[in-house]
Amino acid sequence: MLEQQLSVENTARFEQLWSITKELRQKLDARFELRLNESTKDLQNYSAQVGAAHGSLNTFSGAEIDWLVHSWMREPISGFCNMHLTVWLGSQIRVPHLAFAFATVPNLFFYMDYVSRSDLLTDLDYLDRYYEPANERYLTFLKDDRFQQYHSKTLYIRQVQSQTSLCYTSQITDETIATLRSTAHEMIDRWLGWVDEAEPVPESERAALAQRDLIVRRAIAERDPDNKIAVKLFGEYMTDKLVRSLWGDN
């Protein structure tokens, strides 16, 4: 989609989407104690050696959160932007991780999901507790003709998405942005409630859960097909650095 698009002025839409991520961050900051990771401090402002592309990537950790990413990148001439707010919890609880990704290509793209930490085929209590509450919203989007469901061509990316993930494209309008904002807040509010109510994971199981989390986090970052866009905008060296920062190779 990026290769096919013409020059588009999307600054206002970028600012709208970024403001949504900041609203969500405020709710996280109110609930968790977070510290900025020094290992990614040099990526708070980065830019392409050639061209207008630039971005910002910040990562945080805390007693309850293993890795949090809040980032954006833009190529303002084409109107392309991409931003992430992802929260990878520590192994003290088994609540799903939280993932938001918004983009303009130049149409709106978004992905919102609870990333599972258990086998949903066999752990039926986990499925009912964390995914049944999101199922009605998933079905609502299927019936909304303003949004077109997006299916990745990459097998792993489809594999990691839950069956209630919201992955769509649409025209960018005030209505679709408003729907995106309200749905994102609904998802994070539900998730924060789960965190507050979660039972602790037994100490004997935490190391295995942490290892699984890291494998998933790394695979998502490294197998993202859109890394090719970053290579075109920023080159292989910077893209490798960004990808390693997304999963916490510090």
Average pLDDT, stretch 188-195?
Answer: 98
Q: Where are the domains of the chain?
A: 1-247
Predicted confidence (pLDDT) at residue 1 exceeds the cutoff of 50 = no
pLDDT at 249: 86
Average pLDDT, stretch 29-38?
Answer: 97
pLDDT at 7: 56
DSSP state of 249: -
Q: What percent of the chain has pLDDT over 90?
A: 90
pLDDT at 49: 85
- Distance (Å, whole) CA 171 – CA 108: 6
pLDDT in tens, 194-220: 999 999 999 999 999 999 999 999 999
Predicted confidence (pLDDT) at residue 3 exceeds the cutoff of 90 = no
Backbone angles phi, psi at 184, to 5 degrees: -60, -40
CATH class of 1-247: alpha beta
Predicted confidence (pLDDT) at residue 192 exceeds the cutoff of 90 = yes
Sign of the Cα torsion 228, 233, 235, 241 reads negative
pLDDT at 64: 98
User: What mean pLDDT, rounded, does the chain reach?
Assistant: 94
pLDDT at 78: 87
Identify the burial level of 215 via C-beta atoms within 10 angstroms of its C-beta, where 0-12 means exposed, 13-18 middle and 19 or more buried.
exposed
Predicted confidence (pLDDT) at residue 236 exceeds the cutoff of 90 = yes
pLDDT at 150: 97
Please name which of 197, 202, 166, 228 lies closest in space to residue 1, comparing C-alpha atoms.
228
pLDDT at 145: 97
Beta strands in the chain (DSSP E): 35-36, 46-47, 54-61, 65-75, 80-89, 97-104, 108-115, 147-149, 166-170
Q: Which residues lie closer than 8 Å to 236 by C-beta, 6 or more apart?
A: none
Q: Which residues lie closer than 8 Å to 31 by C-beta, 6 or more apart?
A: 192, 195
Average pLDDT, stretch 107-118?
Answer: 97
- Distance (Å, whole) CA 188 – CA 190: 5
* Helix (H/G/I), strand (E/B), else coil: 46: strand
